[in-house]
Chains A and B, each alone.
Chain A
Amino acid sequence: MNGTFVGMPAFPQAAREAVADATLRGNLRHATHTIRAKRAKAVAEVSDWAELREAGKRIKDHTLRHLDRYLVQLEESVTAAGGTVHWAADAEEANRIVARLVKETGESEVVKVKSMATQEIGLNEALLEEGIHAYETDLAELIVQLGKDRPSHILVPAIHRNRGEIRDIFRQEMGEWGRAAPEGLTDTPAELAEAARLHLREKFLRARVGVSGANFMVAETGTLVVVESEGNGRMCLTLPETLISVVGIEKIVPTWRDLEVFLQTLPRSSTAERMNPYTSTWTGTTDGDGPRTFHLVLLDNGRTDTLADEVGRQALRCIRCSACLNVCPVYERAGGHAYGSVYPGPIGAILSPQLRGTQSEIDASLPYASSLCGACYEVCPVAIDIPEVLVHLRERVVEGGPVVRDGNRVVLKPAKGHAAERAAMRAARWAFARPGALRTGQRLASRTRRLHPRTLPGPGKAWSASRDLPAVPAEPFRDWWQRTNGGNTGEGSAK
C-alpha cells in the first residue's frame, strides 16, 4: 500500500519502517504475548471484574463532571497537609515552575520516578537547558535514557529492546552517566537488574530533590499515590529533602475509599499482578519522615480542551495501565515509536490528537492507526470506548468542525487529504436520494460486472491495494425482491 491513502500520512510511514524491523517485531510479539496471557489470568481471579470496571468508569466520569470542585478541594487539602500547589496551563509553564523550584533548592540534579506527565511536557530536556540534570530511575526509563532512545510503551518504555540490546547499552553507556556496568555483565534479567541497582544507588543516596508524577490524587484527603515495582519510586519519594510532583488534573479521585477500586484494577491490568510490589501514599509532608518540602504542580496541557469534547472526554478516564497496548494488533506490529507521542497504542491514538489537536500530519493520522477491532475497549479497566472515540476523531479530521484549543472555541477546516473521500460520500448521498438514478446505476454495474477491474483506478488505487473490491451481484437486490416477491415465489436468485 502506498502512503497516499487519504488521511494516513505520518503513522503509516513510521509503521512501515517499524514493520520491516524483524528484531523489533520479535521483541514486541514476545513481550505483548507474555503479558496478555498473564493479564487474562489475573483478571479471571476476581469474580467481580465487570462491577469493578463499571465502578471505575463511574467514579472517573463523576470526577470529570465536577472537576472544578474537586481541583479546588484537592488544593485545599494538600495545602492543609503542608504541601504547596502550583497550576500550569501548558507544558512550558509546568517546566518553568519545576526549574524554578529546583533552582530554589540550590541543587543541579534531580532523581525522577517514572512519570508520563513529565515525559509529555519534555521536562528533562527543559531542565537540562537550565543546567539541571534529571536522572531517570525506573529500569526501563534508564534503558531509554542511556540509549538516547525514545519511549515506546506506557508501562515499559523500553519494551522494544530485548535483553541482549539492554546489556549492550548498559556496557557502553553506564560509565558516561556514573557507575559503570560490572565487568562481564551478561544478558540475564537478574544481572541486568543488579547492574541498574548498583548504578542508581549512588544517585539515590545523594539526591536532595525528587521529581515524580502520581497515579491518583485524593481530593478529600490531599493524598497522592504512586504505584510501582522496583523501589525506585520509594527512593525518590522518601530520601530527598524536596519532592516535586507533576500531575495531570484528571488524576483526581474524590475519596480515599475510591482507591479500593483502582488499587484492584490497575495492577491486574498493567503488570498482571494481584498487587504491584510497592505502592506509596503520602499526604503533604510528615514530620521526621520523608521530604520536608512538597510541591504539587497541577497540569492542564490540553486536558481541559479534551474535556470539552462530549465524545472524546472519556479518554481522560485513563489510568495509564497499558493493557490496551498489549492486546492491540496494530501496536504489536508497528511498535510505540510510530505513534509519534509518549502515549502510544490505542489510548495514544485518541489521547495525543486531543491533547495536541489534529493539525499536524502525525496527529491527523493517529485516529486511523487502528483496525477498530475493539480489543482495547474490552480490556480497558475504566471502559474507555476507544473505537468510538477513534471514529469520532476520524470524522473531525475529515469534516472539520468546532473544537476547543487552548481554552478557545475554534472551527477546524476539513483536512486537505480527504477530497476524494468526501467526493465519494457526496456522490453516494446524491445517488441514495434519487431511487431512479440508483436503480439505473446498480443495473449497469450488474450487467458490466465481468468487465470490472480488480483494483480501483486513480486515487482509489491505494485503497484497493490491500482490499478486495466487493463482488457485484448479477442482479440488484431490489430487482430480485420485485421479481420473486421477496423470495416467496420459490425462485432463487439469478445466477
Chain B
Amino acid sequence: MNSRERILGRVRRALADAPEDDKPVERGYLRVHGDRGAEETVELLAENLADYRALVHRCSQDELPSVIGRLLAERGAKSVIVPPGLDAAWLSATEADRVEDTARSTPYELDRVDSVVTACAVAIAETGTIVLDGGPDQGRRRITLVPDHHVCVVRVPGQVVSSVPQALERLDPARPLTWISGPSATSDIELDRVEGVHGPRTLEVILVG
C-alpha cells in the first residue's frame, strides 16, 4: 500500500463514527464593515495605506505622468523597471532609464534596478491592501519584490473595493496573486512592527482619478 492509500484509509477510519455533516456553512458575518460611498471608501483606503506606512498620493489622470516623474526624481532613481503592458504615457515625464523585464533577466539584474512602477488588480479599503495579479500592467511577481522602491497606481474609485470578501470575488485564483499592505515589515524583534526587511522598503501608492 502506498502512502496515499494509507493516509486516505486512516482518514476514513478516523471519521467512521463522526456524525454526517452536509449542511452548507453558515456565514453570519458581514460582507462589508460600515456603510460608505465611493469617495469615502477611497478615503478609507488612503487612511489605512498610510497607517501602515505607505506613502499615498492623489492626482488626476492628466497629472499622473508628472507625479510619477516627481516621485522617481525625489527618490533619485536612475533606473526604473516597468511591466510590458504599462501605459507608456505614465513614464513620459521621467529621466530614469527604463529597464525591460524579460524571461531571461536574472535576480541580480533586478537587484540593480532602483524603482518599479506598476498598476494593480484591486485595492481593499478596510485593510489598506493592494493586490497584484500579474496582469500585463503589473508584470512578473519578482519585479515588485527585488527593487527597493515600488510605485503602485490605483485607479479610483473603479479598482477599490471595501472588504476582503469583495476583493476575493474579483480575483482569479488561477493567477499568481500578491497582496501588499504597506512596505515590508517584521514583528520578529520583541513583537513590535518595524518597517523594512526584504521586500521594497518604500511603497508609494498613487490614487488616480
Contacts and interface: CB of A to CB of B under 8 A. Distances in A.
Interface of A: 27, 30-32, 34-35, 46-48, 51-52, 54-55, 58-59, 61-62, 65-68, 71-72, 81, 87-89, 93, 137-140, 143, 155-156, 158-159, 162-163, 166, 189-190, 192-194, 196-197, 200-201, 204-206, 218, 221, 223, 229-232, 234-235, 237-239, 249, 256-261, 263-264, 271, 273-283, 286, 288-290, 298, 300, 304-305, 307-308, 310, 313, 326, 404, 407
B185 interface: yes
Contacts of B200: 231
A58 to B, nearest CB: 4
Given A51-B29, A59-B25, A139-B188, A67 B197 contact: no
Indicate the size class of the contact surface on chain B: 35 or more
Contact of B186 (A61, A229, A307): A229
A404 B134 CA distance: 46
The 8 A-B residue pairs whose C-beta atoms are closest, nearest first, are A231-B199, A231-B198, A304-B10, A308-B14, A230-B197, A275-B127, A279-B179, A140-B188
B176 A87 contact: no
Contacts, number: 258
Nearest to B194: A189
A73 B165 CA distance: 23
Given A189-B190, A257-B168, A197 B173 contact: no
A231 B3 contact: no
A71 B176 CA distance: 22
A278 B189 contact: no
Nearest to B5: A87
Contacts of B142: 238-239, 289-290
Interface stretch (B15-23, B35-43, B61-69, B91-99): B15-23
Which secondary structure characterizes the binding site on chain B? loop
B184 interface: yes
B28 A54 contact: yes
Contact of B145 (A156, A218, A238): A238
Interface of B: 2-4, 6-15, 17-18, 21, 25-30, 33, 48, 52, 103, 106-108, 111, 124, 126-129, 134, 140-142, 145-146, 164-165, 168-169, 173-200
B192 A194 contact: no
Given A54-B26, A275-B181, A404-B13, 8 more contacts: A88-B3, A205-B106, A234-B145, A235-B145, A278-B179, A278-B184, A283-B175, A300-B10
Given A55-B25, A231-B145, A68 B190 contact: no
Given A47-B30, A67-B15, A193-B196, A61 B176 contact: no
Contacts of B174: 81, 221, 283
A206 B29 CA distance: 45
Nearest to A158: B188
Max chain A CB contacts within 10 Å: which of B11, B30, B48, B181? B11
Contacts of B108: 205
Nearest to B200: A231
B185 A229 contact: yes
Contact of A304 (B7, B127, B185): B7
15 contacts: A58-B26, A61-B21, A62-B21, A65-B21, A89-B3, A193-B196, A194-B196, A201-B198, A257-B165, A261-B27, A277-B182, A278-B181, A281-B176, A283-B176, A286-B175
A196 to B, nearest CB: 6
Contacts of A47: 30, 33
A275 B168 contact: no
